[in-house]
C-alpha cells in the first residue's frame, strides 16, 4: 500500500508541497459543497419546487371547473402579479416528447418529484430553454396548459453564486500557494545545482544561500564543505607534487649514473626499477591532480580518440563511430581517462575495439578487448584506488592499481559514469558515459 502511494506521489519538492496544501483545501471544499447542497440548498430548492407545483395544481383544478379561455385569463391575472407565474392555453396541442436535462440534474429531479406529488395530470417541463424561466406544461382535455415560472421561484439562486465564488477562491488560493511554494523550492534547487556543478568540477557556479533559515543554513554548510574540500585537494596536490619533484631529482641522478655503467643484467634491472618508480609517480600525480580546474571544450570525439590512438602508436585498436559526435569535455582529463582504459587492454589483451554511440542525453564510449576479462564479483573492487586484481593476472605487468579509479573519477566529474561489462570479444567492456 505504502509503495503504491509513494509511486503516485509527485517526485519534486514543489509538487509534494503543493499537494500538502491543496489536498486539504480540496477535501474541505468538497465537504462544504456536499453539506451545502444536501442540508441547505437542496432543502430550499425542494420547498420552492413544492410551492410552484402546488400553485400549478390549484390552477389546473380551477381551470377544469370552468375550462374556458375566460377562466385562463382570470388565472393569468391572478397568478402573474402575485406568484410570478404565467399561464396560457394552447388548444389541441400535445405534450412534447423530447426531455431535456440541465447541467445540474438534481434540479430536474427535485422539480419532477414536486410535480408528481401535486399534479395528477400528465406534465412536461424544460429547465434549459430559457435562462431565467422554467417552462411547465400540463395536459388537459382541450389541449395543454402552459405555465412559465421565474427560475428563482423554483430553484434557490444562491447555489450558482456559491459555486462561482468557491471556484474563484480555489483558483486564488492555488495561485498564491504556487507562488510561495516556488519561492521556497527555488533556493533548494539552486543548492542542488551548485552541489551538482561542484561534483562535476565546475567551481564557477555563483551560488548564494537564500530562502528559509534551514535552507540558508544548508547552503552555508555546503559552502564551508566546498571550501574544505578545495583546500584538501590543493594541499594533496601540492604535497604530491613536492614529493614527486624531490624524488625525480635523485632518480635522474641514478639514471645518469647507470647510463655511464656497463650494460650488465644488474644495471638493466636497476633501470627497470627506476622506470617503474617514475611510472608510479606519474600515476600518483594523475590521481591527485583530478581535473585541475580545466575548462570544458567542444571536441569532435572521433578525431580526439583517433589522435590519441596515433599518439600511443597502437595498431591493434579498431575505432567505430556511426557519425561524427561533438561533446563538451575537458581534453587533458579525458585523455588521461581514455589512455588508462586503452592501456589496460594492451596489458591484458591482443585486440581492442572502441565504439562510439549517442543517445538523446549521453555519449557512450565502449572500450572492449579479447582478454581474460574481469569476473563480476571483482568488478566493484577493480575501481578501488591502489587495488590490483589477483597476482596471477598481474604478474610481470606494470601498474599501481590507479588506472580504473582515475578514469571513473574523471567520468563522474563530467557528470557521467564508468561501468564494466562482459565483451562480445571475450574480455571486458568498459562503458564510459558522458552527458551531452
Tell me the CATH number at 197: 1.10.287.130
Residues 234 and 117 in one domain: no
Is 5 part of a structural domain of the chain? no
Residues 6+ apart with CB under 8 A from 350: 316, 369, 370, 371
CA distance 109 to 125: 11
Say which CATH number the domain at 117 has.
Answer: 3.30.450
pLDDT at 49 exceeding the cut of 70 = yes
- Label residue 403 by pLDDT band (50, 70, 90): confident
**Global confidence as pTM:** 0.50
Q: According to the model, what pLDDT value does residue 286 have? A: 62
pLDDT at 2 exceeding the cut of 80 = no
Residues 207 and 86 in one domain: no
pLDDT at 391 exceeding the cut of 50 = no
Residues 322 and 285 in one domain: no
Is 172 part of a structural domain of the chain? no
Long-range contacts of 383-386 (CB under 8 A, 24+ apart): 383/408, 383/418, 385/287
CA distance 217 to 209: 8
Most confident stretch, 32-41, 179-188, 300-309? 300-309
- 62 grid coordinates: 380551477
Evaluate whether 384 touches 373 at the Cβ level (below 8 Å). no
Is 3 part of a structural domain of the chain? no
- 94 grid coordinates: 400535445
Tens of pLDDT, residues 406-426 = 888 888 888 888 999 988 888
- 4 grid coordinates: 503504491
CA distance 146 to 123: 10
Q: According to the model, what pLDDT value does residue 159 have? A: 61
Evaluate whether 308 touches 335 at the Cβ level (below 8 Å). yes
What's the average model confidence in pLDDT over 148-163?
75
Is 151 part of a structural domain of the chain? yes
177 in helix, strand or coil?
A: helix
CA distance 279 to 123: 103
- 123 grid coordinates: 406534465
21 in helix, strand or coil?
A: helix
Residues 299 and 400 in one domain: yes
Q: According to the model, what pLDDT value does residue 397 have? A: 47
Q: According to the model, what pLDDT value does residue 146 have? A: 92
| The last residue of a domain, from among 270, 289, 308 | 289
Is 174 part of a structural domain of the chain? no
Handedness of CA 246, 252, 255, 256 (dihedral sign): negative
More confident residue, 131 or 86: 86
Residues 321 and 276 in one domain: no
Residues 285 and 338 in one domain: no
Q: According to the model, what pLDDT value does residue 287 have? A: 58
- Label residue 229 by pLDDT band (50, 70, 90): confident
Number of domain units in the chain: 3
- Label residue 137 by pLDDT band (50, 70, 90): very high
Q: According to the model, what pLDDT value does residue 161 have? A: 72
Q: According to the model, what pLDDT value does residue 239 have? A: 74
Q: According to the model, what pLDDT value does residue 138 have? A: 92
Least confidently predicted of 134-143, 174-183, 392-401 = 392-401
Residues 235 and 355 in one domain: no
What's the average model confidence in pLDDT over 147-160?
77
More confident residue, 300 or 12: 300
Residues 62 and 113 in one domain: yes
DSSP letter string, 46-87: HHHHHHHHHHHHHHHHHHHHS-SHHHHHHHHHHHHHHHSEEE
Evaluate whether 280 touches 253 at the Cβ level (below 8 Å). no
Q: φ, ψ for residue 276 (rounded to 5)? A: -65, -40
Q: Identify which of 57, 105, 59, 54 has the alpha carbon closest to the alpha carbon of residue 78.
A: 59
- How many helical (H) and strand (E) elements, i.e. helices and strands, does the chain have? 13, 11
Residues 143 and 263 in one domain: no
Tens of pLDDT, residues 317-375 = 888 887 778 888 888 888 888 988 888 888 888 889 999 988 878 889 999 998 888 88
CA distance 112 to 101: 11
Q: According to the model, what pLDDT value does residue 132 have? A: 84
pLDDT at 171 exceeding the cut of 80 = yes
- 301 grid coordinates: 570525439
Is 221 part of a structural domain of the chain? yes
Q: How many residues does the chain have?
A: 436
| The last residue of a domain, from among 246, 273, 289 | 289
- Label residue 392 by pLDDT band (50, 70, 90): very low
Is 184 part of a structural domain of the chain? no
Residues 428 and 403 in one domain: yes
Percentage of residues of the chain with pLDDT beyond 90 = 8
pLDDT at 290 exceeding the cut of 60 = no
Say which CATH number the domain at 378 has.
Answer: 3.30.565.10
Residues 42 and 57 in one domain: yes
* Structural domain harbouring 138: 10-156
| The last residue of a domain, from among 156, 181, 207 | 156
Strand order across the beta sheet in which 362-369 lies: 317-320, 352-358, 362-369, 428-435, 417-422
Residues 379 and 274 in one domain: no
Most confident stretch, 40-49, 307-316, 383-392? 307-316
Tens of pLDDT, residues 60-69 = 999 889 888 8
Is 183 part of a structural domain of the chain? no
User: Across-strand partners of 149?
Assistant: 85, 134
Amino acid at each position: 500500500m505504502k509503495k503504491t502511494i509513494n509511486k503516485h506521489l509527485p517526485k519534486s519538492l514543489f509538487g509534494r508541497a503543493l499537494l500538502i496544501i491543496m489536498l486539504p483545501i480540496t477535501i474541505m471544499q468538497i465537504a462544504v459543497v456536499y453539506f451545502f447542497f444536501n442540508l441547505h440548498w437542496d432543502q430550499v430548492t425542494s420547498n420552492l419546487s413544492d410551492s410552484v407545483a402546488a400553485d400549478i395544481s390549484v390552477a389546473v383544478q380551477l381551470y377544469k371547473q370552468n375550462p374556458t379561455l375566460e377562466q385562463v385569463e382570470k388565472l393569468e391575472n391572478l397568478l402573474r402579479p402575485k406568484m410570478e407565474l404565467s399561464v396560457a392555453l394552447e388548444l389541441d396541442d400535445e405534450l412534447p416528447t423530447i426531455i431535456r436535462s440541465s447541467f445540474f440534474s438534481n434540479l430536474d429531479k427535485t422539480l419532477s418529484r414536486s410535480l408528481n406529488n401535486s399534479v395528477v395530470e400528465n406534465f412536461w417541463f424544460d429547465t434549459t430553454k430559457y435562462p431565467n424561466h422554467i417552462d411547465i406544461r400540463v395536459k388537459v382535455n382541450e389541449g395543454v396548459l402552459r405555465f412559465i415560472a421565474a427560475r428563482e421561484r423554483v430553484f434557490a439562486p444562491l447555489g450558482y453564486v456559491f459555486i462561482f465564488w468557491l471556484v474563484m477562491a480555489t483558483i486564488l488560493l492555488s495561485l498564491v500557494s504556487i507562488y510561495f511554494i516556488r519561492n521556497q523550492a527555488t533556493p533548494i534547487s539552486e543548492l542542488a545545482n551548485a552541489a551538482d556543478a561542484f561534483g562535476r568540477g565546475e567551481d564557477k557556479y555563483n551560488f548564494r544561500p537564500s530562502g528559509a533559515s534551514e535552507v540558508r543554513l544548508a547552503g552555508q554548510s555546503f559552502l564551508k564543505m566546498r571550501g574544505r574540500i578545495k583546500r584538501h585537494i590543493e594541499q594533496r596536490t601540492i604535497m604530491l607534487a613536492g614529493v614527486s619533484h624531490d624524488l625525480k631529482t635523485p632518480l635522474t641522478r641514478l639514471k645518469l649514473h647507470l647510463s655511464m655503467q656497463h650494460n650488465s643484467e644488474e644495471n638493466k634491472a636497476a633501470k627497470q626499477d627506476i622506470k617503474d618508480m617514475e611510472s608510479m609517480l606519474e600515476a600518483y600525480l594523475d590521481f591527485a591532480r583530478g581535473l585541475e580546474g580545466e575548462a570544458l571544450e567542444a571536441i569532435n570525439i572521433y578525431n580526439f580518440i583517433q589522435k590519441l590512438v596515433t599518439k600511443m602508436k597502437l595498431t591493434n585498436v579498431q575505432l567505430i563511430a556511426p557519425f561524427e559526435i561533438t561533446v563538451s569535455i575537458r581534453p587533458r582529463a579525458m585523455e588521461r581517462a581514455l589512455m588508462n582504459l586503452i592501456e589496460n587492454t594492451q596489458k591484458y589483451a591482443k585486440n581492442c575495439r572502441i565504439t562510439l554511440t549517442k543517445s538523446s542525453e549521453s555519449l557512450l564510449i565502449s572500450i572492449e578487448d579479447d582478454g581474460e576479462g574481469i569476473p563480476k564479483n571483482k568488478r566493484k573492487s577493480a575501481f578501488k584506488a591502489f587495488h590490483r586484481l589477483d597476482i596471477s593476472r598481474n604478474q610481470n605487468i606494470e601498474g599501481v592499481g590507479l588506472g580504473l579509479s582515475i578514469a571513473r573519477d574523471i567520468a563522474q566529474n563530467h557528470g557521467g559514469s564508468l561501468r564494466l561489462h562482459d565483451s562480445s570479444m571475450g574480455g571486458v567492456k568498459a562503458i564510459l558515459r558522458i552527458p551531452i
